[in-house]
Amino acid sequence: MALEKQAWEKILRYLRIRDKERTDLLDDLLPQDLAEQIYSLPNQEKIEIFGLLNNEEAAIILGEMELEQQAKIISLLSPKIAADILSEMPYDDMTDLLGELKEDLKNKILGYMQSDDAEEVRELLEYPKDSAGGIMTTEFIAFKETLTVREAIKGLRELAPSAETAYYIYVIDEDERLVGVVSLRELIIADENEILREIMRTNVVSVEAETDQEQVAQMVQKYNFLAIPVTDKDNKLLGIITVDDIMDVIEEETTEDIYHLVGTSEVEGTTLVEARPFSIARTRLPWLIICLLGGLFSGSVISVYEETLDAIVTLAFFIPVIMDMGGNVGSQSSTVFVRGVATGEIPPNKMFKYFLKEIKVGLIMGIICGITIALAASLWQGMPILGLVVGISMFCTVTLAATIGTLIPLIFTRFGIDPAVTAGPFVTTIKDVTGLMIYFYIATAFMDYLM
Amino acid sequence: MALEKQAWEKILRYLRIRDKERTDLLDDLLPQDLAEQIYSLPNQEKIEIFGLLNNEEAAIILGEMELEQQAKIISLLSPKIAADILSEMPYDDMTDLLGELKEDLKNKILGYMQSDDAEEVRELLEYPKDSAGGIMTTEFIAFKETLTVREAIKGLRELAPSAETAYYIYVIDEDERLVGVVSLRELIIADENEILREIMRTNVVSVEAETDQEQVAQMVQKYNFLAIPVTDKDNKLLGIITVDDIMDVIEEETTEDIYHLVGTSEVEGTTLVEARPFSIARTRLPWLIICLLGGLFSGSVISVYEETLDAIVTLAFFIPVIMDMGGNVGSQSSTVFVRGVATGEIPPNKMFKYFLKEIKVGLIMGIICGITIALAASLWQGMPILGLVVGISMFCTVTLAATIGTLIPLIFTRFGIDPAVTAGPFVTTIKDVTGLMIYFYIATAFMDYLM
């Protein structure tokens, strides 16, 4: 959907000659497409374009970029111009962007902003970034419960709220406590003389400002809301979180989960393409070093059985297949379990039942893989007894890997620890050690027949 | 958020005595909570509850369950009752549910439905399940461009559309071609005497019915729409896809991606908790058997160097750590790349640049892991020369694993193949084989010093 080169040059010409006060640029063009185009330009041209846009346009286009990209562009502009543009953004986006900037630039920009805007943002900056308070916007529509439908519609027309916030009208009592909700649709089809209290739904699902954003996302997904209200402990309405922000949260949280499965994390404050290699390496090395120690530990299992291996060096040929299969089965089981818990497909009260099923799955796969490798090993080395040893080891390793691969994240979940964080490295080391121990133990037992 | 036992018993008592024609049950209770509760009951009680609900309530509550759960409940009811309940569902949900049923039950239910409903559903069933046509609903609001705002609002009140479809009013010309869109918010704040053509946006983003659902999801996410219109080749409006369905698509596609990373797939037509162990095992075994062959191939590398190993059996102790590290680094690189492509963080024109960066990341990690293992191996076995061999091998393995782990999914992406499908097993075998070859090649070269 990126713009054609010609179309873009036409836009540039148009921007250069037109009156900055007119706001018709975004009537025919989608801000997302402009954002993509502008960000791909050299810095000098980025500055030029932002000089040609009026503040409202600049704010809308900026709002469509990734947070890191927004911060980069704002750093290119003067703090005064940056403050003017930011003042046109919704409070939640403004707060996110300011939170991304260096401390002194942030304060300079806040200094140029109107004092009420600055005040509002300072309050929002207090909430942790990944809490409901951190992602909410304070622009919402709330009317007293005694208003008539006609008055509410009139009020709406006067406020002309921004698109993302207009779909639910929240209803509050005398003390500004949230008591109900009316969707814009319900308002428009209601009798104009009814009062809000009569048409509102009273079963409002809301979250507190401290709630973790992942939980908020799960609720919005479950109930299919377009927005969810955020309240304080006394049920006073503080803000709302809209579905477009929720989709960003879901993407972010899923990426985090997937990264944790392979023991890495995102590089803070930049995109993958722009991060320095050193920063990327730093996110992956801690887990790699742990795995390195785990790998040495697995090696020490072999060293225990040095005599067996020295006598029958052929045994070493099957180390890779035993290790690989244990690893693969283990990561399949862990990954399926972790994802099932994340999406709610495995509910908390069914976890143990699912664990028992995984053991059966492990047994089935163990039998099939065990027979396959037994035949393959017998044929390759011409030693049926070696085939038997490898086959039995494979059966035990696969069954155990499926069991351990589910059990470890299950235990982590029970103790309230994100299972994705630690399932990977633990499972890797444990399956290696157990797999190799089983293999060499069985081989040593069959020693006389193998010689 | 599940209901308390007491609250649930109160609901049951209430359901048994109340007049079925009244629909006040869902004024105070959220259908999602009821759906959860009802699904957890024994089958006989499920049937009883659905006998007590009126059709509208039954349809709403059913609509909140997973598709497989819906199909299970419908199979419990008589086809006549099932048809009555289905008739109250939006067309897209109705179609999804019917598509999930056995052929003869589906036809029986369609036979009991009103002919226009049945006709509509039969048409929707024609579209592939994961295309825009397969997930769209045909219930949308479309007005002619010559209508005034007043007439449009009046029309809306009369239609009283369902919540999910009312937020955009699509504007069509004489030939029912899509020419513009007005949001409910824009309609409500506009001058009542203006005509729709004057206030509508003309830059409507739409998709064709054949578009893949994953692409649709990406567009909705990019543009933050609450719904996206679906058209045929002549730009005639066929239906809309709403954001709640898009969130389900995103979850489904992400699960698919994650599953592919570990070489498994979802069990069709059932949930994880209810799938039979044999069915689960069958989704995982194909990849495991390929990996098993790959593991044997890796073992054959060792067999090539049997003499070296026979001479210095200590070399076997470091097989696990070399294999593990190659595997871990490879899956980190593959996973980060695949996810980056899926979320758009690595755009197509930056893939090669990112690949070069991954090589640098691999070099950095290779140096650090190489030095670490060299020191550890020297201390453990008291042989600095062995440490050197293992260290150099580790450096080469890690660097190569990062390179291969990115290169393979990069090539798959370039050829238009989903990189998640095949990155896993390929990377596993290739990194094992290269890692072991490097290790034994270097060891054999240093043979004289090691003895």
In this predicted complex, what is the ipTM?
0.78
Q: Give me B288's structure tokens.
A: 């495991």
In the prediction, which pLDDT does A1 show? 43
Are B299 and A318 inside 8 Å of each other by CB? yes
User: What chain B residue is nearest to A336 in terms of C-alpha separation?
Assistant: B259
Does the beta-carbon distance from B261 to A335 stay under 8 Å? yes
- Tokens 């649930």 belong to which residue? B8
Pick out chain B residues at pLDDT < 70: 1-4, 20-23, 160-165, 421-426
Q: Which spans in B273-350 are helix H?
A: 277-304, 306-311, 319-343
Nearest to A71 by CA among A41, A48, A91, A95: A95
Structure confidence by residue, pLDDT tens digits, B183-236: 888 888 888 899 999 999 888 899 999 999 988 998 888 887 888 999 998 999
Does B30 sit within 8 Å of A380, measured CB to CB?
no
Would you call A226 and B30 a contact, using CB atoms and an 8 Å cutoff?
A: no
Structure tokens at A106: 């942030």
- pTM score, whole prediction: 0.78
C-alpha dist (Å) from residue A387 to A292, A306, A369, A372, B140: 30, 21, 12, 10, 65
Cβ contact B296–A336 (<8 Å): no
- pLDDT tens readout for residues A325-353: 988 898 889 889 988 888 888 888 889 99
* Chain centroid to CA B190: 39
**Chain B nearest CA to A108, separation (Å):** 30
Q: Do B299 and A287 touch (CB under 8 A)?
A: no
Question: Which band of pLDDT confidence, cut at 50, 70 and 90, is reported for residue A16?
Answer: confident
| Residue-averaged pLDDT of chain A | 86
Question: Tell me, what's the pLDDT at B160?
Answer: 67
Domain A1-125 bears CATH identifier 1.25.60.10: yes
Of B156, B350, B432, the CB nearest to A189: B156
| CA–CA–CA angle B245, B251, B253 (5° rounding) | 100
What distance in Å separates the CA atoms of residue B177 and residue B25, rounded to the nearest whole number? 41
The two structure tokens encoding residue A24 = 């018709």
C-alpha–C-alpha distance, residues B331 and B340, integer Å: 14
A162 pLDDT tier (thresholds 50, 70, 90): low
Confidence at residue A115, expressed as pLDDT on a 0 to 100 scale: 85
Which positions in chain B touch A284 (Cβ < 8 Å)? 329, 332, 361, 365
* Interchain CB distance below 8 Å, A296 and B157: no
Length of chain A counted residue by residue: 451
Establish how many alpha carbons lie within 13 A of residue B33's alpha carbon, considering only the half-sphere containing its beta carbon. 16
Fold: same for A1-125 and A277-449: no
**Whole-number pLDDT of residue B1:** 43
- Per-residue pLDDT tens digits for A132-149: 998 898 888 899 999 999
Query: Is the confidence at residue A359, as pLDDT, over 90?
Result: yes
Tokens standing for residue A315: 């045994």
Of B157, B262, B278, the CB nearest to A188: B157
CATH 1.10.357.20 fits B277-449, yes or no: yes
pLDDT tens for each residue of A407-422: 988 998 888 887 776 6
Q: What is the pLDDT of residue A390?
A: 94
Choose, out of A204, A292, A301, A353, the residue to mutate when testing the contact with B (most B CBs < 10 Å): A292
> Residue A119: what pLDDT?
86
> CA of B45 to nearest chain A CA: how many angstroms apart?
20
A313: DSSP letter = G
Amino acid at B15: L
Q: How many CB atoms lie within 10 A of CB A341?
A: 22
A29 token code pair: 């063009």
Pairwise CA distance, residues B93 & B213, whole Å: 15
Query: CA of A376: which chain B residue's CA is closest?
Result: B296
CB-based contact B292 A364, cutoff 8 Å: no
Pseudo-torsion of CA B368, B373, B375, B381, nearest 10°?
Answer: -170
Q: How much is the pLDDT for A117?
A: 85
Laid out side by side, the sheet with A168-172 consists of A142-144, A168-172, A178-183
Question: Chain B: residue nearest A308 by CA?
Answer: B313
Q: What residue in A sits closest to B169 (Cα-Cα)?
A: A185
CA distance B115 to chain A (A): 29
The domain segmentation of chain B, as residue ranges, is 1-125, 142-243, 277-449
B324: left (phi over 0), alpha (psi -120 to 50) or beta: alpha
Residues of A in contact with B251 (CB under 8 A): 221, 250, 343
**B-chain residues within 8 Å CB-CB of A222?**
1, 32
Is there a contact between A323 and B328 if contact means CB atoms under 8 Å apart?
no
**E strand residue ranges, A187-247:** 207-208, 227-231, 237-242
Mean pLDDT of all residues in A107-112: 90
Pairing of strands A178-183, A142-144: unpaired
Instruction: Tell me the per-residue pLDDT of A172-202, one tens digit each, with 9 for 90 and over.
Output: 998 889 999 998 888 888 888 999 999 998 8
Residues of A in contact with B223 (CB under 8 A): 30, 32
Instruction: Specify the DSSP class assigned to residue A19.
Output: -
> B292: nearest CA in chain A?
A321
Fold (CATH) for A142-243: CBS-domain (3.10.580)
Compute the distance between CA of residue A106 and CA of residue A122 in angstroms, rounded to an integer: 11
DSSP 3-state of A5: helix
What per-residue confidence (pLDDT) applies to A418? Answer: 76
**Residue with more model confidence, A429 or B146:** B146
- Partners of B32 on chain A (C-beta within 8 Å) are 222-223
